[in-house]
Structure formats: C-alpha cells, structure tokens
Amino acid sequence: MTEGAGNGAAAIRVEEVSHQYLPARGRPVLALDRVSLEVREREFLALLGPSGCGKSTLLYLIGGFLPIGAGRIEVGGRAVTEPGPDRGIVFQHFALFPWKTVRENVMYGLAKQGLAKDEQARRAQEFIDLVKLTGFEDSYPAQLSGGMKQRAALARTLAIDPQILLMDEPFGALDAQTRILMQEELLSIWQRRRKTVVFVTHDVQEAVYLAERVAVMSARPGRIKEIVDCRFSLSGPALFKSPEFVERVDHVWNLVRGEAIAAQGGSA
C-alpha cells in the first residue's frame, strides 16, 4: 500500500473481546481471547493469521452476525448488537442469487432500502460500471467467471453505500492471475471511494500489498500478536521488487509461521 494512511478517529473499536463456540457435541472452543483493536476511519486494515486463529470470527463479530461473548465492539461510537447498513460484507464464495442477473443482484440491497426503481437502476449501473462489468448487466452468475462473480458481489455491497467494507478472503477462490487483477481493482476502488476496509486473508503478500496496516493474529485462541505498518513510497509492479516490501513480507511471514507452528504443537 502506498503512503497516505487513514489517520482519523477510530471507525471500529474492539475492546477485550472473547468468543467461544459451543458445539452440540464435544467441548467448547475458545476462538478469540481478549482481542483489542482499533481501525481508523477510511483505513484499509488486513487481518492475517494461521488457519483457525479466529480472524473470520472477529470479522463476523464486527459485522454483528455473531453474539459477543465478552467485551465490546463499537462502530462509529455505538455498540454493535446486530448487522446494519453501515457495514457491508463480501464473502469468499460470492453469495450471489443464481436466479438473478448481475443488475438484479446489485439492485437487491437498493430495493431493500426502499429506493425508487429508476434510482435503483441508476445506482446499480454506476457500480456495475465501477467494477468493470459493463455489458454483463443481464448475465446470470452461472455465465460469469470467478473474477466476474466477485466483481458483481463487490458492486452489490458498494451500491448500498456502507461506511465499512468487511471482506472475508474475497479472492481466496480465484486463480492466481485473476486474484492479482482483483487486488489491483480493489485498491483502485478503495482509493477513489475511501471506505473503511477490514480484509481477512491467509496470504501474507496480499495483506502487505493491500493494507495500510496488517494485524497479525496468534494461533487459537486468537489474540493480536503484532500490528505491522505497510505503507510504502512505491506503488504498482515496482513495489513487489523493492527491498522495503520484501523485508516487510518476510517479517510478517515469520510472525505467521511461528504461530502456525505453535498451532500444530511444534516449536519455531
């Protein structure tokens, strides 16, 4: 991420949050243990850590999709108790309605907001154009590539104009080439729209490239191990070869590697 981090007030405040899963059978699983984190207004923050560390759980707690077991989460100074239109979420597996066209999928949230039909259509087209799906308005999800489906899912979320964009490994199911293109597209959209973004990924290079800060989580039960600043003076393809970028990727990878080994019961 190039220089120019969000440095305003906290858009999201997580205070001493713990969460425990209670399966129908077996022992309770403590997913998060006293996690505290602040995400600034218009900041792009990545959550990174080994599998099972609770990064998606934390995202869903911020979204209001899971009950908070202990602690408190605030968005815009108000306690999170349920989902709200101020927080939009993009999932890994697109979550598009297969029986609706791209246009109809993007219009879905706008209809829920009660907008007039002509305004729904205008806003839907604006965001379809923004994610570069112009010409595919009447296509169904089955007719789209993986990258195009994710573009449609992103357009649907952005169209409702949430203050915060929550992204759960949105490019994890894409091939390597499409993933790189989608990363570039997301950065371009974020730089123009400047939403607050919380981006969950297991890919170290993706996190360092996209985010202004990377919050590295420990092995389960998840805690914040370290927050790494990832603002660089370079951008574009030249960034990947810069010593500064390589050093930051190595540092973050070593943090994640140590936690992954700990999760398997070994030693780094």
Q: What is the mean pLDDT of residues 240-250?
A: 94
Q: Which residues fall within 8 angstroms of residue 253, CB to CB, at 6 or more apart?
A: 204
Q: What is the mean pLDDT of residues 185-195?
A: 91
Pairing of strands 10-21, 29-40: antiparallel
User: pLDDT at residue 234 above 70?
Assistant: yes
This prediction has a pTM of: 0.92
User: pLDDT at residue 237 above 80?
Assistant: no
Q: What is the mean pLDDT of residues 20-45?
A: 92
Q: Distances from the Cα of 173 to the Cαs of 91, 92, 169, 177, 220, in angstroms?
A: 10, 7, 8, 12, 24
Label residue 268 by pLDDT band (50, 70, 90): very low
The pLDDT, as a whole number, for residue 2 is 64
The pLDDT, as a whole number, for residue 8 is 63
Enumerate the domain spans of the chain: 95-161
Pairing of strands 213-217, 44-48: parallel
User: pLDDT at residue 173 above 90?
Assistant: no
User: pLDDT at residue 4 above 60?
Assistant: no
Which comes out higher in pLDDT, residue 189 or 264? 189
In tens, the pLDDT along 109-149 reads 999 888 999 999 999 999 999 999 999 999 999 999 999 99
Q: What is the mean pLDDT of residues 2-11?
A: 65
The pLDDT, as a whole number, for residue 6 is 56
User: pLDDT at residue 223 above 80?
Assistant: yes
